[in-house]
Structure 1
Amino acid sequence: MTQNLIEPAITPRTRAKARHILDHYYIGPARDSSALEIWGYTPEMSYAPGDRVALHVSTTAAEWDLEIGRDGLTYHPLLTVTGLPGVHHPTPEDCSVKGCGWPEAHAFTIPEEWVPGGYLITFRARSGQDLVEEHHIILVRSAPDASPPPYVLVCATGTWLAYNCWGGSNHYEGITGPNGNAFSPVLSTQRPWTRGFCRLPEGAPRALREQPARPGEMVRYPYMEWAYAYGYSKKYASAGWATYERHFARWAEGEGYALDVIALHDLHRDPGLLDQYACAVFVGHDEYWSAEMRDAVDAYVDGGGNVARFAGNFLWQTRIEDEGRTQVCYKYIADQDPLMGTDREHLVSGAFDIPPVGRPGALTFGVNALSGVYAGLGNCVGGGAGGFTIYRPNHWVFRGAGVGYGDVLGARSRIFGYEVDGLDYRFEDGLPFPTCADGAVPEIEILAMGLATNIEADHGTWGETLYIGTADAAFNAQVLFGEVTPETLDACMRGNGLIISWHRGKGEIFTAATCEWVAGLIRRDSQVEQITRNVLNKLGKGQA
């Protein structure tokens, strides 16, 4: 959700002489045939065995090499091609909005023996002693005639796309948005993923610091500092295979769980795709969904499907246009969406919770994003526990995890943040219950809770620049109360993040509403791992 407040404003008039500043905004082509580079993309995000995959590649090298391998518990190359002829293609200035338009450079057919997973594509180019390497990811699901596994991991490709800064713009900032210096409400899928979305070095910092800042110490953002130092997108910690889904897929494979892997965009195109699975799994930062994607999940659960959501920030409604090649989200300027004022304004690309969309996230996953949002990022609950306080330890979710009432789950592994979803709630006899004033229903059980905020604390530390500040709270105040005043800002300051369980229709939903649940799996937090097993076993195999 993060709005970007610390970069200087850049106008079209100053853009040419401020190119060195823009380099920190985005990753993109050098547009200089003397600079060694290689980039590539595929027309689709996901494929099945037997599908043909076209690679659209631009490089300044005379030749380039290709390597593809399954990015699972172990990695080894499955396909290598060397000595491919290199061609440098012009890239439009507005490629992030309209696509790169590069021609096909190479193609291959996915072999029948490739098992489901994320497949890392490595492009390599050389010039003398110099070598550059860039990456792409494709998702491979089971063959249509194969028996599907019980689980399907639905990758948050709507959010990947929203944060993808390759070429100049995303849904947060850029050079091709309104007036040339703001976010773009329109994004193309026909471009490479930005550096860090597909592959990361070991030790790349996560969005949450491993330890809270000391009192009086200037707030730091190690992941952004690392990205600037090593030439990665600063958005790598917010979205992408390498930061989120990869870690869950590797952990599940090590535990013996068989997963299909698909793109969220697949649900937009094929709403019945989930019906063949016992449990749909969502992980990480999963913020951007079309109405059709939500409809697919709602119908799946009502019909008896189960959902395990280890993800946070279910916030924005998008539209998928141009046969899947374009994603639209007007977000903070939803009043400028062309659908506003029409008979289709329920499809306006704004926040789910508020008119004209008016479809709170709690109706699908049991929690609302605007009841979150920030925890552990900067001075937003910067000194918080980093985990969930347990309120209903006897629930089946916690069986064997060794937690009791009042214990904090995941504090050592820092699972709570950086964005979380919650509900309006009340306490009775030391237990939280949904008030149902925000789209929630009484059947939702609140199992655990942590605190979040929309306003970053200002401790008056000399030299400190706040990243979040008050911008998100001001947006909430404007849309919820119609004006931004000290009183409405205060009303929008406090939030929470929840773990909930809910029987809905013929199905069942578990939600741990945090982006960073996977941190507990990466750091082998035994309690987080046991709860993850409990959820998968119950929802995927019918075992309590």
Structure 2
Amino acid sequence: MTNSESAGPATTPRTRAKARHILDNYYIGPARDRNVLEVWGYTERFTYSPGDRVALQVSTTAATWDLEIGRDGATYHPVLQETDLPGVHQETPPDCSVRGCDWAATYEFTIPKDWNEGGYLVTLRAERDGDVVEEHHLFLLRREADRPAAPYVLVCATGTWLAYNCWGGSNHYEGITGPERNAFSPVVSTQRPWTRGFCKLPEGAPRAVPDVTHVPGGMVRYPYMEWAYAYGYSKKYASAGWASYERHFARWAEAQGYEFDFATQHDLEADPDLLSRHACAVFVGHDEYWSANMRRAVDRFTENGGRVARFAGNFLWQTRIENAGRTQVCYKYIATQDPLVGTDQEHLVTAAWEVAPVNWPGAQTFGANGLKGMYAGLGRCTGQGSNGFTVYRPQHWAFEGTQLGYGDQLGASSRIFGYEVDGVDCRMEDGLPFATGADGADPALEILAMGLATNVEPDHGTWGETVYIGSADAAFKALSLFGEITPETLDRSTRGNGVIVSWKRGKGEVFTAGTCEWVMGLARHDWQVERITSNVLDRFGAEW
């Protein structure tokens, strides 16, 4: 999400104080009290290869703790188990979310050569006087460099995982590090545990897009936040993390027989040529935050003949990766405070891609961008929409075998359209949408399907109701794109769209389904969404 979460939810005066407490002040992190039973852990890196040494930094108030590591693929398969490991309680700095925990390694192991690539769930359990706690971590395993690469690589959105990780008190949305209680931190650390819900979720945990359409006259609801507070999970679980997004795609792809390697956006930062070893790079879920180096790696790959399949939404912010990959920086709405402003490196200022001094429209990489899209199906934001795409060009190769026609709804039953979507500036001609190019998109790209989105959540004055999004995002968009906030620019900034686009770029090709929730079409076995996904993967991996 964007501005509304950093500024606090928009409310009426009668509910403001209570709503801010309910929505924004749930803390997940170290208790800093030895009387509280807890166990937390993290690894220095996100990604490893067979033969690498892994050090787990674990802190617990229990005398002993148990460990299980398992490959989280089409089925979960335990590969390492330990019991009664000696517990160590480690001091945690107050600003650990910014500078890291700096815990010592408490358990180390070497990854065996026979472990397969994929996501590996780390389960930590501790017990005391009959009480049991369980927390989770995750790392990715890449195949060895001397093995032939897979045709596809799934690049996990670790930039966005970090931005939403609230463990320890702050992230790129809210926190304990600013002068106000809910001020966000422009600096976050990789050296800390993931917040509860990023690595593992119970079956049935609500999505940001609810399973039912908002009923007119009823009070607006946010089921995922209600569930998170009821069960002790981070309210950010539905916005980022392996469990909500990449896991669904990885399980589906493996079950369908596709051969994937795994990487992170941070791997692209460290190894700009990583994608060249594959035919197709895949991005899924919510990939809001990217560094310039990550983005350049994708651009270079596509221009040189690579294929990009992006089933993800909300491409919006430039970040910087510093401190040898341990720190992520994004000043966002206060980008004028970025230290690079006014320097010869100010093109790396951490603002929205379309905003000066960055001036690098997101649509030039993926064919769509966050500022032209935004919210759908979240609260009252198009809360009575279909949560599917309207099909405009059913004859396109991506729709082969789907039985979709002009005007049909794609993915409405599985609710794939939302909660944040990417759009494109377009015009309608003879009932078909065409990219204007005004937002940096190539006018030659094809808009295959589209839905409506908004940057404003309407407030109908229902007594006791909290409107979460409000109008702060529209104001930010107006100031960013038009230089001022006036009734006219604010009105122009309320409307957006989400698109599916196909685009031949350089020697390569890009397919973008600009929505966070595409993975729900796969998890819920929507056969038309599955067929389109297979059509894209089959075409983009055919020459491998």
Find the counterpart in structure 2 of residue 243 from structure 1: 244
Offset at 1:20? Answer: 8.5
| Corresponding residue of 1:344 | 345
* Partner Cα separation in structure 1 for residue 63 and residue 404 of structure 2: 60
**Which amino acid is the alignment partner of residue 170 of structure 2?**
S
Question: Residue type matched to 2:443 in 1?
Answer: P
* SS of the residue 2:41 aligns to: strand
490 and 29 in structure 1: CA distance in 2 versus 1, 3 angstrom threshold: same
Cα deviation, residue 21, structure 1: 6.7
Report deviation, 1:478.
Answer: 1.5
Distance change (3 Å), C-alpha of 1:363 and 1:7:
closer
Structure-2 residue corresponding to 1:41 = 42
Return the offset for 1:130.
1.2
Match for residue 520 of structure 2?
519
Taking structure 1 as the reference length, what is the TM-score of the superposition?
0.96
In structure 1, the partner of 2:16 is: none
Residue deviations 1:15-34, cap 9 Å, x none? Answer: xxxx9879943310111001
Taking the aligned partners of 1:77 and 1:438, their CA distance within structure 2 comes to 48
CA offsets 1:93-121 (integer angstroms, 9 cap, x no match): 10000000110101111111111110000
- Equivalent position of 2:326 in the other structure: 325
Q: Is 1:369 aligned to residue 370 of structure 2?
A: yes
Note the C-alpha offset of 1:181: 3.5
Query: How far off its partner does 1:488 sit?
Result: 1.2
Name the SS of the counterpart of 2:422 in structure 1.
Answer: coil
List alignment gaps of at least 5 residues for structure 2. 12-19
Is residue 155 of structure 2 the alignment partner of residue 154 of structure 1? yes
Q: Secondary structure at the match of 1:372?
A: strand
Three-state SS of the structure 2 residue aligned to 1:26 is: coil
Residue 424 of structure 1 is matched in structure 2 by 425
Distance 2:482 2:148 in 1: 51
**Residue-by-residue CA offset, 1:431-459 (whole Å, 9 max, x unaligned):** 11001111011221100000000011122
Deviation string, structure 1 residues 330-370 (Cα, Å, up to 9, x no partner): 00000110001111110000000111101111110011110
Quote the Cα distance in structure 2 between the aligned partners of 1:341 and 1:148: 43
Indicate whether 1:174 and 2:175 are aligned: yes
Query: Which residue is equivalent to 1:55?
Result: 56
Q: 1-side partners of 2:241 and 2:132: how far apart?
A: 24
What CA distance in whole angstroms lies between the structure 1 residues aligned with 2:138 and 2:513?
26
- Taking the aligned partners of 1:275 and 1:479, their CA distance within structure 2 comes to 35
Identity across aligned pairs (percent)?
Answer: 70
Is 1:144 the equivalent of 2:139? no
User: What's the counterpart of residue 28 of structure 1?
Assistant: 29
Give the distance between the partners of 1:303 and 1:340, measured in 2 at CA.
32
What whole-Å deviation, never above 9, does each CA across 1:169-224 have from its counterpart, x for those lacking one? 00000011354530000000000000000000001000001111111000000000
| Structure 2 counterpart SS, 1:104 | coil
Structure 2 letter corresponding to 1:170? N
Residue-by-residue CA offset, 1:297-338 (whole Å, 9 max, x unaligned): 000111111000000000000000000000000000001100
Alpha-carbon distance in 2 for matches of 1:542, 1:469: 47
Rounded Cα–Cα distance in structure 1 between residues aligned with 2:288 and 2:206: 21
- What is the DSSP-based 3-state SS (H/G/I as helix, E as strand, rest coil) of the residue aligned with 2:433? strand
Q: CA deviation at 1:7?
A: 5.9
Contact 1:312 1:514 (8 Å CA) reproduced: yes
User: Which residue does 2:393 correspond to in 1?
Assistant: 392
Q: Which amino acid aligns with 1:216?
A: G
Task: Give the total of aligned pairs.
Answer: 535
**Contact 1:315–1:351 at 8 Å: present in 2 too?**
yes
Aligned to 2:313: 312
The code of the aligned residue for 2:420 comes to E
Contact residue 379 and residue 457 of structure 1 kept, 8 A: yes
**Partner Cα separation in structure 2 for residue 473 and residue 20 of structure 1:** 24
Amino acid across the alignment from 2:413:
R
1:507 is matched with 508
The aligned residue for residue 253 of structure 2 is: 252
State the match for 2:102 in structure 1.
Answer: 101
Task: Give the SS at the match of 2:237.
Answer: coil
**Structure 2 counterpart of 1:16:** none
1:64 aligned residue: 65
CA distance in structure 2 between the aligned counterparts of 1:53 and 1:164, rounded to whole angstroms: 22
- The 8 Å contact of residues 24 and 182 in structure 2, kept in 1 or not, is answered as no
462 and 215 in structure 1: CA distance in 2 versus 1, 3 angstrom threshold: same
Alignment of 1:134-533 (within 5 A): 134-179=135-180, 181-533=182-534
In 1, distance between residues paired with 2:179 and 2:479?
A: 21
Q: Is residue 114 of structure 1 aligned with residue 115 of structure 2? A: yes
Give yes or no for contact 1:6–1:465 (8 Å, CA) kept in 2. Answer: no
Q: For the structure 1 residues 381 and 219, does the alpha-carbon distance in structure 2 shift closer, same or farther, using more than 3 Å as the test?
A: same
Mapped contact 2:65–2:86 kept (Cα < 8 A):
yes
Which amino acid in 2 is paired with 1:511? T
Q: Secondary structure at the match of 1:324?
A: coil
Q: For 1:287, give the aligned amino acid.
A: E
In 1, distance between residues paired with 2:230 and 2:159?
28
> Which amino acid counterpart does residue 358 of structure 2 have in structure 1?
V
CA distance in 2, matches of 1:223, 1:104: 35
- Equivalent-residue separation in structure 2 for 1:79 and 1:105 (angstroms): 16
**Contact persistence 1:388–1:411 (CA under 8 A):** yes
Query: How far 1:481 sits from its partner (Å)?
Result: 2.0
Partner SS, residue 159 of structure 2: helix
Give yes or no for contact 2:457–2:471 (8 Å, CA) kept in 1: yes
Match of 1:14 in 2: none
Q: Is the 8 A contact 2:8 2:182 kept in 1?
A: no
Query: What's 1:13 paired with?
Result: none
Letter in 1 for 2:473: D
Question: 1: distance between equivalents of 2:23 and 2:531?
Answer: 44
Partner of 1:15: none
RMSD: 1.7
Tell me the distance in 2 between the aligned counterparts of 1:23 and 1:482.
30
- Which residue identity is paired with 1:252? A
Distance 1:49 1:34, change over 3 A: same
- In 1, the alpha carbon distance for the partners of 2:510 and 2:434 equals 17
**TM-superposition CA deviations, 1:472-507 (whole Å, max 9, x none):** 001111122222222111010010000000000111
In structure 2, how many angstroms separate the alpha carbons of the residues matched to 1:178 and 1:423? 37
Q: Tell me how far 1:43 sits from its aligned partner.
A: 0.4
Q: Which amino acid aligns with 1:465?
A: T
Q: Return the TM-score normalized by structure 2.
A: 0.96
Q: Is the 8 A contact 1:25 1:165 kept in 2?
A: no
How far apart are the structure 2 equivalents of 1:404 and 1:472?
Answer: 34
Matches of 1:457 and 1:374 in 2, distance apart?
12
SS in 1 for 2:375: coil
CA contact (8 A) 1:330 1:350 kept: yes
What stretches of structure 1 of length at least 5 have no aligned partner?
A: 10-18
Please list the CA deviations of residues 363-385 of structure 1 after superposition, one character each: whole Å capped at 9, or x if unmatched: 10011110001000011111011
2:100 maps to a residue whose letter is G
List structure 1 segments (4+ residues) > 6 angstroms apart after TM superposition. Answer: 19-23
| Amino acid of the structure 2 residue aligned with 1:244 | Y
Equivalent-residue separation in structure 2 for 1:362 and 1:480 (angstroms): 15
